[in-house]
């Protein structure tokens, strides 16, 4: 319970954005329980799922449904309830609402209309993965889900190829192998990455290696393509990737090395894909022979 001098757990007319566990129910935050208990209603992505969660904690509340396919009436209803002085707790199926989950229009509109919007922080798969993956996380870029179609996914990755911050993706298990292959081809097979799976659950796994190693590992072991997945990829080395830089680097390396070795070293230095560099090395070697 709130101690003297602390903010009350819930206040009429406020919107609470409440994080819930991403697997392990022991991660439910005491303040989240207090707020859920005190709110007039709980606004949920999937009311059946949330009812089970609340039931587990002995909380029985009226539920309202709000998800990406709700019409504008659902949003308006929430805003009317806030205006009528009801406190609402917004939750998603797992983790932090709005992070690759519904809730943005409600939070945005509630703020615009002057309601107090209060975060109740707790689990988030992206942050949990980052905290334990062993990749730099002073600065990172959360990319959510990549496009499902290959051409759009590769175009999205091309735009990220030179990003120097650690990249964080959510991925569906059935697309993992294809996404890893695309990552290796666009970012270079030598780029470091971590596959964080089933966080906080029984089969929690962290697999670290180069993208090439992860492609092979996942192809060999179908178990790695099960469950919930966060994919983290190290950022590009500073100043890497410019075509001119690669050309100059390869030209210098080719003075001492055959094309295959020059491409391997250049891939390590630039993070670019080895096969593409090999083709470029052959082209440069051909030019110098002419
Ligand atoms: N709002 C959630 C959060 O705060 O992390 C994310 C919801 S998003 C719809 C679901 C995706 O998050 C999953 O497909 C997976 O990529 C990731 N995810 C959720 N729980 C996870 C877990 N326990 N382990 C690994 N990834 C998880």
Q: What is the pLDDT of residue 36?
A: 98
Q: Which atom of ligand 1 is found nearest the CA of 172?
A: 14
Largest CA distance in the chain: 84
Q: What Å distances lie between residue 8 and 27, 34, 61, 148, CA to CA?
A: 22, 9, 18, 44
Q: Is the pLDDT of residue 235 over 60?
A: yes
pLDDT level of residue 271 (50, 70, 90 thresholds): confident
Q: Is the pLDDT of residue 68 over 60?
A: yes
* d(CA 248, ligand 1 centre) in Å: 42
The percentage of the chain sitting over the pLDDT mark of 90, rounded to a whole number, equals 83
The percentage of the chain sitting over the pLDDT mark of 70, rounded to a whole number, equals 93
Q: Which residues contact residue 227 at a Cβ distance below 8 angstroms, ignoring those fewer than 6 apart?
A: 173, 197, 198, 201, 203
CATH class of 15-123: alpha beta
Q: What is the pLDDT of residue 5?
A: 44
Residue with the smallest CA separation from ligand 1 atom 20 is: 22
Cβ < 6 A, ligand 1 pocket: 22-23, 92, 94-96, 99-101, 124-126, 170-172, 196-201, 228-230
CATH classification for the domain delimited by 126-233, as one of 3.40.50.300, 3.50.30.30, 3.30.360.10, 3.30.950.10: 3.30.950.10
* d(CA 21, ligand 1 centre) in Å: 10
Residue ranges per domain, the chain?
15-123, 126-233, 242-289
The CA angle 143-149-155, to the nearest 5 degrees, is 60
Mean per-residue pLDDT, 247-262: 93
**C-alpha to C-alpha distance for 263 and 245, rounded to whole angstroms:** 13
User: Which of 17, 19, 22, 204 is the best mutation target for the ligand 1 pocket, counting ligand atoms within 8 Å of the beta carbon and taking the most?
Assistant: 22
Residue range 69-123, pLDDT digits in tens = 998 999 999 999 999 999 999 999 999 999 999 999 999 999 999 999 999 999 9
DSSP letters for 209-220: EEHHHHHHHHHH
User: Which of 69, 170, 172, 175 is the best mutation target for the ligand 1 pocket, counting ligand atoms within 8 Å of the beta carbon and taking the most?
Assistant: 170
The CA angle 161-162-163, to the nearest 5 degrees, is 95
* d(CA 5, ligand 1 centre) in Å: 35
CA atoms within 13 A on the CB side of 51: 7
* d(CA 196, ligand 1 centre) in Å: 10
Q: Where are the beta strands (DSSP E) in 172-260?
A: 192-197, 205-210, 229-233
> Within a 10 A sphere around the Cβ of 40, how many other Cβ atoms?
17
* d(CA 202, ligand 1 centre) in Å: 15
Q: Is the pLDDT of residue 229 over 50?
A: yes
Instruction: Look at strands 117-120 and 15-18 and give their pairing.
Output: parallel
pLDDT level of residue 272 (50, 70, 90 thresholds): confident
* d(CA 229, ligand 1 centre) in Å: 7
Q: What is the pLDDT of residue 2?
A: 45
pTM reported for the whole predicted model: 0.82
Mean per-residue pLDDT, 178-186: 96
Mean per-residue pLDDT, 50-65: 98
93-97, 122-126, 221-225, 275-279 — which is least confidently predicted?
275-279
Residue 63 belongs to what H/E stretch?
strand 63-65
Return the C-alpha torsion angle 180, 220, 279, 247, nearest 10.
50
Q: What Å distances lie between residue 50 and 68, 127, 137, 144, 199, CA to CA?
A: 16, 22, 32, 23, 20
Q: What is the pLDDT of residue 270?
A: 80
Q: Is the pLDDT of residue 55 over 60?
A: yes
Nearest to 280 by CA among 261, 259, 264: 259
Residue with the smallest CA separation from ligand 1 atom 19 is: 125
Q: Is the pLDDT of residue 152 over 80?
A: yes
Q: What is the pLDDT of residue 120?
A: 98
Domains 15-123 and 126-233 share a fold: no
Nearest to 74 by CA among 34, 102, 100: 102
92 burial via Cβ count (<10 Å: 0-12, 13-18, 19+): buried
Mean per-residue pLDDT, 177-184: 97
Between 71 and 52, the higher pLDDT residue: 52
* d(CA 151, ligand 1 centre) in Å: 24
**C-alpha to C-alpha distance for 241 and 160, rounded to whole angstroms:** 11
Q: Are the CB atoms for 154 and 180 separated by under 8 Å?
A: no
* d(CA 122, ligand 1 centre) in Å: 13
> Within a 10 A sphere around the Cβ of 64, how many other Cβ atoms?
17
Q: What is the pLDDT of residue 239?
A: 65
Tokens standing for 7?
């903010």
Q: Which atom of ligand 1 is found nearest the CA of 127?
A: 5
Q: Is the pLDDT of residue 8 over 50?
A: no
């Amino acid at each position: 319970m709130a101690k003297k001098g602390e903010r009350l757990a819930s206040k009429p007319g406020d919107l609470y954005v409440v994080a819930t566990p991403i697997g392990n129910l022991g991660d439910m935050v005491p303040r989240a329980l207090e707020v859920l208990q005190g709110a007039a209603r709980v606004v949920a992505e999937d009311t059946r799922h949330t009812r089970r969660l609340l039931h587990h904690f002995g909380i029985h509340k009226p539920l309202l449904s709000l998800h990406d396919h709700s019409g504008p009436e659902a949003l308006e209803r929430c805003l009317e309830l806030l205006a009528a002085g009801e406190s609402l707790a917004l939750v998603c199926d797992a983790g932090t609402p709005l992070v690759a989950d519904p809730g943005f229009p409600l939070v945005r509109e509630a703020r615009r209309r002057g309601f107090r919007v209060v975060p109740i922080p707790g689990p988030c798969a992206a942050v949990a993965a980052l905290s334990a993956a062993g990749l730099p996380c002073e600065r990172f870029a959360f990319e959510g889900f990549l496009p499902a179609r290959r051409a759009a996914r590769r175009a999205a990755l091309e735009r990220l190829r030179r990003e120097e911050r650690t990249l964080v993706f959510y991925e569906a298990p059935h697309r993992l192998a294809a996404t890893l292959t695309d990552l290796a081809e666009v970012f270079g097979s030598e780029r470091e990455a971590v596959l964080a799976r089933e966080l906080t659950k029984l089969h929690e796994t962290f697999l670290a290696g180069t993208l090439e190693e992860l492609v092979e590992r996942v192809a060999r072991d179908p178990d790695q393509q099960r469950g919930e997945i966060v994919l983290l990829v190290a950022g590009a080395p500073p100043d890497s990737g410019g075509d001119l830089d690669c050309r100059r680097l390869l030209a210098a390396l080719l003075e001492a090395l055959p094309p295959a070795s020059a491409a391997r070293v250049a891939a390590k230095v630039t993070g670019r894909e080895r096969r593409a560099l090999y083709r470029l090395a052959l082209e440069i070697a051909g030019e110098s022979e002419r």
